[in-house]
Structure 1
C-alpha cells in the first residue's frame, strides 16, 4: 500500500491510496511434496523419523465449536502434549477429563498449552480474572429466565458456529413453546454436520448424536428465517446454493410470519441482519435483544457494537446484559489441568501473557517461546 498526500488550492488536502501487488514473492516455493493423512479419533497415526517411530493420537476436546482436538505425540517412551483450544466449563468437560488421564499416562516431557484468558501478572496476583466468569450452565440458567419472563419477540445473538449454544436456544425455545428461527447459514452448518456424520462409522455417529441432539428440519420449533433477496418476493430465482434448498424444504418463515405472531418466536439476529428490524417493525419496548456473545475487546468490535446499539435504540429494543461463556479455559481450570498432567516443560502459546505462567506454581519448567528458536528435550 502506498499512501500519498497532496496539497490542493484553498489548503484542501487530498489523500490518495494506491494498492500495488508485491512484484516478488517474499517466500520460496517448496519442492517437497507432503502426504496428507487423516487422523481418526483415538487411533494412533505412526510414522518413522530420525528419532525413531512417532505416534500421534487425536482426542476430541470441548471448545466453542465442534471438531476441536488435543493431541499426544509419543516417541521413545516419552510424549509431547498439544492442548489446542479447550475449556472445562462447557457441556463436554468429560472429554477434557479423559484427555487429562491419557496425557498423564503418556509420560509427558513437554506440554504446549493455550492460555487465551491468562491475564497479566498483576491481574493474576489480584485475582481480577475471576470476575464475571460464566459456565455454559450459567448461560442456560440466565437465558431461561429472560425467555421465560419476556412476553414479546426475543432476538438472540450467539456464536453462529457454536453448535452447543444453538442447540441450547433450540431447547429453550421448545420448552417455552417458541420457534427458534435460525439463519440460512446456520441451517447449512447443521446440515453439513449431519451429512458428515452419516458417512462415519456407526459407533462415531452414535457418540456424536449422544452429545449433539440435532433437530429434525420438520420440527416446527426449529425453523429457518429467510431474508428477502432480489425483488423481495421470496421467489426461487432470488436465491442460490443452499438457500435455494431451503425453499424446497419448506420449513422456513419470513418477516411476515414473525411480525404476525412475535410472541411465538426466538429469532437469531446478528450484526449483519440489522436491516431486518425495518421489516419486523416492532413497537418500542415490545422486543428484547438477548446478547449471548463475548463483549467487544478490540476497536473494530467496539465500533460494530456501537452501531448495533444505535439500531436497537432506534427501534426501542432493550438489550440484555452479556450472557456468554468463553470457548477457552478459565485460569483456575487451566492451572489445575497443567498440575494434573505435570509435564516437565510447559510451553504457553495462544496467549498475550506467557510470563504469567511462571506465577502458577507448576513443578515443571515454564519456557517462554521465541520465534524461530528450536527446542529440544
Structure 2
C-alpha cells in the first residue's frame, strides 16, 4: 500500500489523500480549499475517473466529516464515483442541500458507523468516532497488504463528544504504520488550553443574563455542539430559543432524542422563517420544510413585543429580519464562530450592532485539538511514521512529536 497527499501537506483545508493497493485507489476526503469560491473541476486532484467516471481503478471517496474543506469538491465529481460517509453526516448534508446553493451529490452513497469495519476492494476500512465541531466526524483506519494507515481527520478533546476521544485513546488501533494527523493549532501551542463547551455555555448564559433586550446568536447551524450550548444557556437564563427553519430541519433529520427539537413536547424552542428561506421554499415549492413547525412558529411581531424573552439564531443574511423585529436597542449580538471570519463578514456585524444600540461579544472555542491532546493522540497510536496534514506549520511536528516523516503534496510515499 502507498499514499500521496494531493492537498493538505502545508495548508489548512482542502484535504485530499489517495491510498493505493493492487492498482486500486481510494480517496480520503475531497475538500474545497478555504480560499476557493465555488467548487470547480479545475480544483480536482489528478486522479483518473474523478471527472469522467471512466476508471475502474477509482473505488470511491471516503469522507471523514461534513465540513466543506473535507467534502466540498464532491459537487463536481462524476456521478458514478461512490461516496462513503457517516450516516449522521449524510442526513445533515441532505437537509443542507434543501436550504443552500449546490451541495446536491448525485453519487451513490454508502454510510458507515463507529468502529463498523467494511471492505472497499482490497481495502479494509474502520471508522472511529471523534470529537469535533462537525457532527459525526471520524478518524479512518485503512488496511491493505498487511499494512495500516490511520487518517485522523479533524478532532478535538474539549467538546460535547470528549468521551469519543477518550474512548479512542482507551482502545486505539494497534500496529499503525503511518499516521496522517491534523495540526491546525500548531503555531499557537503557547496559548492556554481551549475552553470546553460547558465553559462556553456558562459564559454565554451569564452574558444572556446581563442583557436587557434580545440576544442574537451567530453560529453555524451544522455545529450541533454549539447549538446545544446555546440552547442550554438559553434555558439557564430563563429565555426561549428561536431556531430558523434550516436549523429545525437539521435537528429533526438527525433524529436523536438527546438533541433539542421544536417538535418535542418538552421543548422551549420556537421556529422563525427568515425572508430568504421563505423565498427559496416558495420558489422550490418545498412547503414540507415548514409545515411540521406551523404550531411552533413565531413572527417578527411576536418577538418585538417581548424582546427580553428571546435568544434568536442569527446570521448576516437575516439583518433585514432583525430590523423588522424592531426594539433592538439594549440587545446583544453574540459571535460564536472563529473570530477570523469577522474580517470577511459583509456587512460588518460589529458596526451594524453598534448602529442598532446593541453590544457585541465573542464567545467561542476551537474545533481542533490543543497541542497537549495531539501529543496524547500520537502517544497512544504509536505509529511508525507520523505525517503532517491540515496544518500551516508542518515543520513544527518534528519539534513536538517523534517519528515525523513529511510527505509533500503530489508525491507517492510507501507505507512500509
Q: How high is the TM-score relative to the length of structure 1?
A: 0.75
Which of the numbers 130, 141, 162 marks the counterpart of 2:202?
Answer: 141
Q: Closer, same or farther in 2 for the Cα pair 1:315/1:132, shift >3 Å?
A: farther
For the 8 Å contact 1:220–1:251, the answer to whether it is kept is: no
Aligned to 1:347: 387
Q: Residue 366 of structure 1: SS of its match in structure 2?
A: coil
Counterpart residue number, 1:89: 158
Q: 2:335 aligns with which of 283, 287, 291?
A: 291
Residue 172 of structure 1 corresponds to which residue in structure 2?
233
Among candidates 387, 392, 408, match of residue 370 of structure 1? 408
Distance in 2, Cα, partners of 1:304 & 1:215 = 29
In the other structure, the counterpart of 1:69 is 138
The structural deviation recorded for 1:147 is 1.7
Gaps of 5+ in 2: 1-39, 61-81, 83-109
2:149 to 66, 80, 83: 80
Aligned counterpart, 2:15: none
- 1-structure distance, mates of 2:352, 2:398: 45
The residue matched to 1:326 in structure 2 has which SS?
A: coil
Is 1:311 the counterpart of 2:379 in the alignment?
Answer: no
Cα distance in 1 for partners of 2:166, 2:133 equals 17
Distance in 2 between residues matched to 1:183 and 1:358, nearest whole Å: 46
- Can you give the 5+ residue segments of structure 1 that lack an aligned partner in the other structure? 1-20, 195-207
5 Å-filtered alignment, 1:1-377, equals 29-33=52-56, 34=59, 36=82, 37-46=110-119, 49=122, 54-75=123-144, 78-103=147-172, 105-119=173-187, 124=189, 127=190, 130-131=191-192, 133-194=194-255, 209=257, 212-217=258-263, 218-219=265-266, 221-228=268-275, 240-241=285-286, 245-246=290-291, 249-282=294-327, 284=329, 286-296=330-340, 301-304=342-345, 307-320=348-361, 322-360=362-400, 362-363=401-402, 365-376=403-414, 377=416
Give the drift of 1:135: 2.0
Q: 1:240 to 1:132 in 2, by over 3 A?
A: farther
Distance 1:306 1:97, change over 3 A: same
Pair 1:219–1:262, CA change in 2 (3 A): farther
The answer to whether the 8 Å contact 1:64/1:162 transfers is yes
The answer (yes or no) to whether the contact 1:152–1:263 under 8 Å persists in 2 is yes
Structure of larger gyration radius: 1
Match of 1:18 in 2: none
Answer whether contact 2:388 2:407 (CA < 8 A) is retained. Answer: yes
**C-alpha contact 2:174 2:381 (8 A) present in aligned 1:** no
Number of matched pairs: 319
Q: Aligned-pair distance for 1:66?
A: 1.2
SS across alignment from 2:139: strand
TM-aligned CA deviation for residue 247 of structure 1: 7.0
How far apart are residue 216 of structure 1 and its match?
4.5
Checking the alignment, whether the CA contact within 8 Å between 2:131 and 2:155 is kept in structure 1 is yes
Describe the SS at the equivalent of 2:348: helix
Counterpart residue number, 1:204: none
**TM-score, scaled relative to structure 2:** 0.69
| Residues 275-305 of structure 1: CA deviation (Å, up to 9, x unaligned) | 2232122253x211122111015xxx51416
